[in-house]
Every structure is written in C-alpha cells, then in structure tokens.
Chains A and B, each alone.
Chain A
Amino acid sequence: MLLEINNLSRRFGGLQAVSDASFSVSQGMIKAVIGPNGAGKTTLFNLISGTLPPSSGAIHFKGQPIHGLPPWRIARLGMARTYQNIKLYPGMTALENVMVGRHCRSRAGFISGMLSLPWTKKEENASRAVAMELLALLDIADLAEVEATSLAFGQQRAVEFARALAMEPELLLLDEPAAGLNIYETAEVARLITKINGQGITVLLVEHDMSLVMDISHEIAVLSFGEKIAEGTPAEIQHNKEVIRIYLGEDDA
C-alpha cells in the first residue's frame, strides 16, 4: 500500500471534521474521495499532507508513519498536492512558480546560491528545463513569463498542477481539480489525470464533478459528516443505497 490511513480523526472544538476514517490507496491507482459539502474532504487532505495534525489515528506513506511530520518533510517523501482555492506565489512568473516545485529535487543552499557556483547554474538550468517541459505539457508554455496570479482561473490551475508535477511525486493529491472549469476544460483535466497516472503517479482526488470521478477513478471512498460510509469501484458506489440516500435525500423527504 502506498498510503494507509487508520482510524483517523480530527476535531475542531465541538465539530468532528473527520471521524475514525480508514482507507488505503494502492500504488498506481486513481482513487477519489467524494461526499457532500462539509463532509471533511479538504480536512482529510490537510491531515494527509501534514498541514493539520490529526487528533488521533495514523497515516502511513510508503510504510512510514507521517502523522505529526511537518508538510515539507512529507512533500520530500514524494507527496505533492494542489488546493481547492488555488495557492500560487504572487509576484512570481508561472515559470518561477513551477520551478519552486523543483525545490525538493535540487540542493543549492545559501552559500552556493550566493557564490553562484558552476554546478548551481547547471542545476538551475536543469530546473528551468523541467519546468518549461511541464508548462508545455499543460499547454501554457507561452505564459511562462507572465505573473502567475494574473492568469485566468483555468491557467492558474494548470500552473499549480505543473508545480505539483515538478516535485516528481509518487502520490499526487488533487483537491477539486475541476472546480470552476467548464465542460471542455473538465474533459481536458480528466485526460491529463489519466495520462499522469499512466506515467506511474498514484492519484488521490477530492471532486464534486461526479461524471469526472466515475470516468477516471479506479476506486472511490465516500465521506459523510467526517465518516467513511462506503468504499468500492465506481459501479459499486453508484448502486450503494447509503450513498444514494446522502446525495439524493431520504425516501420520505
């Protein structure tokens, strides 16, 4: 198992955002977490990526416990993420934003950076080349020198995506990758996720767009009020009575 979550809980005061959730993601799959608004999906992502410490429970990544580690350590183990509300670095170009993603794959420090040693220049050029390739993959190579936060919404999403890929992650967490995108852009995102997955990157995504989730996921976990209520293949989930109930409401409603 690449990622294993056991009895994970997180409370915010009186609110139980994630409650005793357990599931796992095996190497090479696309797994989706779905659930109504407020089900605790984003909290779950924040727990996995280390942004929030869990109240209880355990998270193992590549067999190693990661609960309690700071986000940068988890990132360096090979986990990258995107955000529901895009978080790009203001005042930096799209290219620079993606190059920050190369941080954990390069090593120039304060001293070598100040002296601009030959090997740091080489490393810098290599980082730039990888970042340009990724921008090209996402069809935004022509926007490389534009300030990232001034781009259109869909383009910002693409930059964030490229930044995550620049980290060469083994596990990619995508928080609502299709939010705010139109039907064509969503289809493009679906194609891209499948393509990345084909290159051996495991994907865990949170998404509201059911057609996207059903199309590309190998497995789905369903959260409601912080609890996992179902898990299975897209076909199994579509026919799960409990899932239909929480999405469509009670029979007597």
Chain B
Amino acid sequence: MSVVIKVENLSKQYRLGMVNSGTIKDDIIRWWSLLRGKENPLLKVGEDNDRTFVGKSDYVWSLKDINFDVKQGEVLGIIGKNGAGKSTLLKILSKVTAPTTGVVKSKGRIASLLEVGTGFHPELTGKENIYLNGAILGMRRAEITKKLDEIIEFAGVERYVDTPVKRYSSGMYVRLAFAVAAHLESEILIIDEVLSVGDAEFQKKCLGKMNSISKNEGRTVLFVSHNIQAVAELCTKGLVLENGKTLVYGNIEECIRKYHASTRGGNLDSLALGNRLERTSGKAIFTKIEGVKDGKESWEFDYKDEIKLHFEVVTNEEVENLSVYIALKHVFSNETITNIEQNVSLETLRKGEKIGFEISVDPKTIRPGEYKMYYALGKIGTKEFYDVIDDNVDIPMLFINTSGKDIHENVGFISISHNFKIDA
C-alpha cells in the first residue's frame, strides 16, 4: 500500500518565557544572519523538552527530528506522557502551526479533530452548526447536504436539529460534533482525545466508527490518546514520543510495552506523594521500588529469570507489624491476577527508621506478558494502609519476555506447581 503521510526530520522549537521581551532583538539577529546567507544562529541553541529540571536556554525543542510514514488505511497511535510533544505534532500535521525544520508530505485531504465542536456557535441550531462545523473542517456545502441525514442519525439528535445548540445537553453536543467529523470525506483523519467524552455507549460507537473508517473505507487515521486500551484496540502501528523525540516507532504492542517501560521507578520518596498521603496515613512510605536483574535496575525479565524486587521503606511514625502487599494486575481489566502479603517486621519500628528488603519470585512462575503492579504497606492482617502505590503513581509495569520455545508458556498468567504420579 502506498505511503500517504511522510514526515521527515520534523522539529519544532518554542521560545519560553515572556513572549514579547527581546523579540525585536532576536528578529534583528535572524535578519542579519539571513542577509549574510547563514543559518539562523538561534536554531543551534535549545534543549530537550525535559521538564524535570530547569533549563538554561530560553528555547526548547518541543519536537526534535521526528521521522515516520503512514500507509493508506493504517491507524497510527501516537502515545506519550503529557508534554512529550503529541499535541505539537498534531498541530503541525493539521497546519495549525508550522514546523521549525523538516517536511511533512501528504496525499489527500487531512481533516483534524483536535477538539470536538470547533466553532460551534451556541445561538445557531443543530443543523446550522453542522454546516458551520463541516465547512470549518473543510467540507463543501453540497457535501454536507448529502451527508446531513446520516450525520443527524449518527448523533441521535433528530428531534432537536432546529433547536439552538445552547439548549443541548453536553452529551448531545459532543455526539453532534463527533458525528460531523466522522462523516468528513477526507482521506486522512487526525483525532486527539475525543473519546474521553460522552458516555460508554457512545464511546463504543465512536471506536466502531473509527474502526470502519480505516478498515472498510481504507482511510488513514492518526489517533492520539491517553487511553492505552483504546489505542491497543484500534491501532496497527504506534509512535511513542518522549521529551519531543521518538522513543519507539513500530508495531503497537512493542510501542505500548516500551511506553510503560519508559516510566521510571527508582526514587519514590516524593513521587505523587500528595496523592498517596491523601488516601493513606503515611505512617510508613516506600522510598524506592525497583526490579533488579543482574544487579541493575530493570523491569524486563526473561521467563527463565528469577524476578527480584528491591524495596526501601522509611517510617514516619512508630509502627508495629509492618507488612508489604504486592499485587500483579491485568493491564486492561485491572483485575488482580495474584498477590503476595509478606511480613516485614514483627517488632515495633521506631520513627524515622529505614529498612531495605527484597522479594524474589521463582523463575517460570509468572508467564510472559506485561503486568501492572500494585504495592502497599500496612499492618498485617488488617485493612489499615500506610502507603499505596497504584495507577495514580507513575510506576513501571513488569515485563516478562518469552523464550519463544515453548508454545504453552505464552498462555495464561501464572504457572502453578503440580505433582505427577503414574498409577501403581
């Protein structure tokens, strides 16, 4: 199949801080170097868009050297944490802003849906807004008229087409907006986070529609979402961005795996602490949780490896009967597959005491795959929790790689020990 979008060395630089201060000076620097036929000197400065430390330069690269191409009918999922550059990439692709360097080549019309209901006017009726929104998204009047009934039916607002949309419920509003976009006759559709709105039933409908857009109509979709499950279901290929750079580009399973692996473990003493303390007493907290493989931090193990987790805990008050609870959870359904509860200390621990310990699981116990982890500290035998590390904290998942030799090891989640005896 032919390539319909080709992105080459795409970069975007932003200037931080006061928008207006010094721009005339910078303008003059730019003009001067352009006059002499030299490269813009300001493009040489700039640093990666890593928000965890304060940069020295006023310029940051929101995107740096992005390369990928999308074939016709492909659904590309673009994932990455907040600030990874997803939105910037979409804005460039949808021509809202221009890149600093690089080229995007495409075949066919691109319609972008960076927000549903762009340009909806509250005073206009549903029908008028369909025309308005459709035209903003690049449809001709005649095309909209042709699809009008279909759009109204998909949105399920037949009764209210002649009512101003300011009287619509928020659900109706969103449904109408998505319906217009889904019926665009563009060869390429860019969608950003629209599925976070609407009720479950409508979300399903949207996913179904997007599926049929790519599979049946052969249109290309670029899909950005935080909903990893939706990305996994819909997309064939993935692009993971981290700090404006490509982390992985390839098949979607690999992308999701690397995306989860990219979230760092390590020091937990301050990570999302506010959130953790809101829900628990904080009598004792995790300061470090890491997977250990060959003496180094790793969250990727082989099936034949012993799986070691190393913990460091500090007490903020006197605690007795400290225990640790670990659960292995299903990536999508979040159901607990198995769990461990382990006593850490039977003695009463004084305030400010630090303890390190390790838990290891025998090789060939956890089947190849990826698992969400859940950790808690508490008092043994009770439901009193001192600290809980779950989805709300950005912690790594556990990956078990397959050895690829045994077809049965990839099935299921847990190996159970068993006995065998031939009849006497």
A associates with B: no
